């Protein structure tokens, strides 16, 4: 979700917090957002994310320059900082409560806090995660009197379809901290050091 947030006109960039390149002004075409949430993660960065904007599915589109044909894809953002933390320890709803507290309520487009893992984090995706952490988190969420509704992406999209005109821009970039790449739009973790044909 950081690559949606960084593409907002009013993204509050912080060199020490983002630990990343500043957003390219040409990418900052998403509407300004008045509320941002940040959470420090163990790698030393503090991603800022627009609430509720970057916690809701949208669409991105491509216009074929040869034909003018427009195609779109649904963009389902993952909660970058929450996912990082969830990949290293069991979390409870107190981790997402501050995000929800900052959000405006829209029953037609509720937030979807997706915790995504790449499979090689500390234990996110392993036995302990799925057999202990997830059931505990879901049980706590269900016990909050309807404040949270555990779901799947497919179920959410069936219940809350993304409007055809809900088009956003997603900044290029990677997952946080691939060998020091904190989501750089230039993919510095993969493209560093820069070399030419002579090495």
Global pTM value: 0.87
User: What are the per-10-residue average pLDDT scores of the chain (199 residues)?
Assistant: 94 86 94 92 83 96 95 94 84 92 86 79 73 92 90 95 96 69 73 67
Residue 89, pLDDT score:
84
Question: What is the rounded average pLDDT for all residues in the chain?
Answer: 87
What is the rounded distance in angstroms from the CA atom of residue 117 to the CA atom of residue 166?
26
Residue 21, pLDDT score:
84
Count Cβ atoms below 10 Å from residue 112 Cβ, excluding itself: 20
Residue 180, pLDDT score:
60
What is the rounded distance in angstroms from the CA atom of residue 34 to the CA atom of residue 16?
21
Residue 35, pLDDT score:
94
């Amino acid at each position: 979700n950081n690559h949606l947030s960084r593409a907002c006109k009013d993204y509050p960039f912080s060199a020490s917090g983002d630990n990343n390149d500043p957003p390219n002004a040409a990418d900052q075409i998403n509407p300004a957002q008045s509320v941002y949430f940040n959470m420090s993660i163990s790698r030393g960065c503090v991603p800022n994310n627009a609430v509720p904007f970057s916690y809701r599915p949208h669409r991105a589109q491509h216009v074929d320059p040869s034909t003018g044909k427009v195609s779109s894809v649904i963009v389902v953002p993952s909660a970058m900082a929450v996912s990082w933390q969830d990949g290293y320890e069991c979390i409870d709803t107190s981790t997402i409560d501050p995000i929800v507290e900052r959000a405006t309520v829209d029953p037609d487009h509720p937030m979807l806090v997706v915790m995504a893992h790449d499979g090689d984090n500390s234990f996110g995706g392993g036995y302990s995660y799925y057999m202990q952490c997830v059931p505990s988190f879901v049980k706590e969420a269900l016990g909050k009197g309807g404040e949270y509704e555990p779901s799947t992406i497919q179920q959410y999209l069936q219940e809350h379809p993304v409007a055809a005109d809900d088009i956003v821009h997603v900044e290029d970039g990677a997952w946080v901290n691939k060998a020091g790449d904190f989501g750089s739009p230039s993919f510095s973790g993969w493209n560093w050091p820069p070399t030419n044909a002579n090495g």
